[in-house]
Amino acid sequence: MRTGQNIHHGLHLFRNRRTLWQMMREVLKGHYRMSLLTTVILIISIAYIIYPFDLIPDSIPVLGWLDDGIVLYLLLLRLVYETKRYNRFKAMERKTPVAPPAILGPSPEKA
């Protein structure tokens, strides 16, 4: 049953890839702030996958790739959570009423 959930997480990100890119653009512009945990996981997992030295060397055929796969899987789980959080953020942003601009003019004087 876990395999079905794993596939579901991957499909969720694939279907929401535009949302994911929009979220990343807004993070870079400073309009949206990812949680600290997501930021740390994102940086560490990308560095771990790119960095040539792993806990289990890639020269060991299956086990060497397995640790990279686990790190990638954990990153995907976190990105699924963060895209859902971003969608809630955008929904709240749309629901927040915008105050009308104040009409500036002469203020009534008190007698």
Task: List the chain domain ranges.
Answer: 2-95
56 neighbors 64 (Cβ within 8 angstroms): yes
Confidence at residue 1, expressed as pLDDT on a 0 to 100 scale: 46
**How far apart, in whole angstroms, are the C-alpha atoms of residue 77 and residue 70?**
11
Whether the model pTM is above 0.75:
no
**How far apart, in whole angstroms, are the C-alpha atoms of residue 36 and residue 19?**
19
Q: What three-state secondary structure class fits 49?
A: helix
* DSSP states of 52-93: S--SS-TTSTTHHHHHHHHHHHHHHHHHHHHHHHHHHHHHHH
Confidence at residue 25, expressed as pLDDT on a 0 to 100 scale: 92
Confidence at residue 39, expressed as pLDDT on a 0 to 100 scale: 92
Q: What is the pLDDT along the chain (111 residues), one digit of tens a residue?
A: 455 665 666 676 777 778 888 888 999 999 999 999 999 999 999 888 888 777 777 777 787 778 888 888 889 889 889 999 998 998 888 887 666 666 655 656 655
